[in-house]
Amino acid sequence: MILVTGATGRVGYPLLEALADASADVTAMVRVPAKGDDLPGAAKYIVGSFDDPPPADVLQAFDQIFLLSPAIEEQAELEIRFIDALLAAGHRPHIVKMAVDGFQDPGVEVRFVRSHREIAAHLAASGLAVSYLAPSIYLDTLLAAAGRIRRAGMLYVPSGSGRAAYVAASDVADVAARVLTAPGHDDRTYVLTGPEALSGQQLARRISTVFGRDVGYTDLPAAQARAELLASGLGQWEVDGALELSDWVRQGGAATVTADVPEVTGHPATRVEDWLDDNRAAFLDFPPELPPDVF
């Protein structure tokens, strides 16, 4: 049986949809019972968290675990606690670990990337069988820019002319579903990207074309980006991390394009134009529930 952690999130939720389509035997881990009642495919669920992992007899029921935690300061500590709970249960399931592009490169000093590197070192020492999914930046992060695009026709990305190979979270979920349900993926690392790498300027042009309006691009100075991120409610650790990430993009770190999405899923990686079209309402209308503006 498969255990999906992070089941209510941007990747976990479409992963449950894909696993339901594949008629897989799947259980979600949720922190709050109410969230378990509304999962795709009426998935079974257990209540647990990385802070307080489920007991040994519960963990022993799963032969595959999709391991996803949020990009917060305690991320490495939380995932390591969960891995140690598995090992203490005398259990050795196959882990499909959500990481991030760059995690294998010790030269990448972005804190969100470093956390995954630390977890990967712990997994390597554990000897568990692991498959890594290492996505580039999600296209879905553009939703945080939708408010400013609607109101002011501007895209602010503090990354100069640096390009990023934005990938749809739904493509990451499709890859995860294949890795969890088909043989041959143990000890593999998949770097998951969109079909091309785009700069902020190029992204603004695509947005203009899809929505038939002029959307400009501004390379936000770091000080202004910091002020806006703090004002959006993000904590200091997350803000510093977002600026490190932007710098990494500026230096070309996120521009790698791979064919791993089409090779694993059998369908092309989502084009930015198609993703924008699917999310048209967020960019053109005034839905009541949008994430706070970030850039």
Ligand X SMILES: NC(=O)c1ccc[n+]([C@@H]2O[C@H](COP(=O)([O-])OP(=O)(O)OC[C@H]3O[C@@H](n4cnc5c(N)ncnc54)[C@H](OP(=O)(O)O)[C@@H]3O)[C@@H](O)[C@H]2O)c1
* Residue closer to ligand X (CB basis): 22 or 143: 143
* Residue closer to ligand X (CB basis): 165 or 215: 165
Binders of ligand X among residues 220 to 239 (CB under 6 A) are: none
Number of residues that bind ligand X (CB under 6 A): 26
* Residue closer to ligand X (CB basis): 9 or 160: 9
Q: How far is the CB of 98 from ligand X (least distance, A)?
A: 5
Contact between 70 and ligand X per CB under 6 A? yes
Contact between 6 and ligand X per CB under 6 A? yes
Binders of ligand X among residues 273 to 292 (CB under 6 A) are: none
Q: How far is the CB of 183 from ligand X (least distance, A)?
A: 25
Contact between 214 and ligand X per CB under 6 A? no
- For ligand X, which residue of 14, 36, 93, 135 counts as binding (CB under 6 A)? 135
* Residue closer to ligand X (CB basis): 31 or 91: 31
Contact between 144 and ligand X per CB under 6 A? no
- Burial class from Cβ neighbours inside 10 Å (0-12, 13-18, 19+) for residue 242 reads buried
Applying CB under 6 A, the residues found at the interface with ligand X are 5-12, 31-32, 35, 49-51, 68-71, 78, 98, 100, 112, 135, 137-138, 141
